[in-house]
């Protein structure tokens, strides 16, 4: 699957045109916060909630409510890696956001590795979700692990990096950025 750059001219709007035009506006024609949809954006491996900063800003400017949790042991929560998080930990991280923020009708977005996370959240609390969005994401069937569906070379590479890290294999060091072949998402006006 190839990644590409997105520009503001691409159709990446957060809500259909009909709901955009019906949103409440303040006295200066700006969309009021909290009037739109509720998004929970879940990052992929080797990231944190911070990777959604630009997307969250744009969605909030359109009046949507946005949460960008960071999964246990990653990003600014890397100091709790000793908790030995598993996929169940990550699912629980997101489920707790939905529970404690009392969120319903959520558009739950999972990028890359987080495809398996949002699938688990959907199994646990489907009544709180409106839509699942898999953004360039891994989707495993019930009973499958990501190692079951990943390309063998990629899975073997992850296992080798875990062994080389000298730990117990629970933590995989991130690859070099150039190995990820990530494209920059650029919005008109240079807002990334």
For residue 184, give its domain range.
33-143+150-190
Residue 20 maps to a domain:
no
Residue 53 maps to a domain:
yes
Residue 55 maps to a domain:
yes
Per-residue pLDDT of the chain (192 residues; tens, 9 = 90+): 333 333 333 333 333 333 333 345 555 555 455 469 999 999 988 788 999 999 999 999 999 999 999 998 776 666 666 667 788 999 999 999 999 999 999 999 999 889 999 999 999 999 999 999 999 887 877 777 766 777 777 667 766 766 776 665 556 656 565 555 554 555 555 555
Taking the C-alpha atoms of residue 4 and residue 186, their distance in angstroms, rounded to an integer, is 10
Residue 63 maps to a domain:
yes
Chain center to CA of 124: 18
Taking the C-alpha atoms of residue 62 and residue 172, their distance in angstroms, rounded to an integer, is 37
Residue 1 maps to a domain:
no
pTM, to two decimals:
0.66
**Edge-to-edge strand ranges of the sheet holding 106-111:** 65-67, 38-42, 106-111, 129-135
Residue 28 maps to a domain:
no
Active site residues: 112
Provide the number of structural domains found in the chain: 1
Nearest to 72 by CA among 100, 106, 103, 96: 96
Residue 61 maps to a domain:
yes
Residue 80 maps to a domain:
yes
Partner residues linked to 72 by β-bridges: none
Write down the residue that tokens 């390309």 correspond to. Answer: 151
Nearest to 78 by CA among 70, 90, 66: 70
Start-to-end CA distance of the chain, whole Å, equals 22
């Amino acid at each position: 699957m190839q990644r590409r750059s997105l520009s503001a001219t691409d159709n990446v709007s957060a809500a259909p045109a009909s709901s955009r035009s019906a949103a409440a506006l303040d006295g200066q024609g700006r969309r009021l916060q909290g009037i739109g949809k509720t998004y929970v954006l879940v990052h992929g491996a080797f990231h944190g909630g911070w990777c959604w900063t630009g997307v969250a800003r744009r969605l909030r400017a359109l009046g949507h409510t946005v949460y960008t949790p960071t999964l246990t042991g990653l990003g600014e929560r890397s100091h709790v890696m000793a908790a030995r998080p598993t996929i169940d930990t990550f699912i629980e991280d997101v489920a707790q956001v939905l529970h404690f923020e009392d969120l319903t009708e959520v558009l739950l977005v999972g990028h890359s590795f987080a495809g398996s996370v949002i699938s688990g959240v959907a199994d646990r609390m489907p009544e709180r979700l409106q839509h699942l969005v898999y953004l360039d994401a891994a989707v495993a069937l019930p009973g499958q692990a990501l190692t079951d569906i990943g390309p063998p070379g990629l899975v073997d590479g992850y296992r080798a990096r875990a062994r080389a890290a000298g730990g117990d294999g629970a933590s995989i060091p991130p690859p070099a950025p150039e190995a990820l072949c990530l494209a920059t998402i650029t919005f008109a006006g240079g807002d990334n």
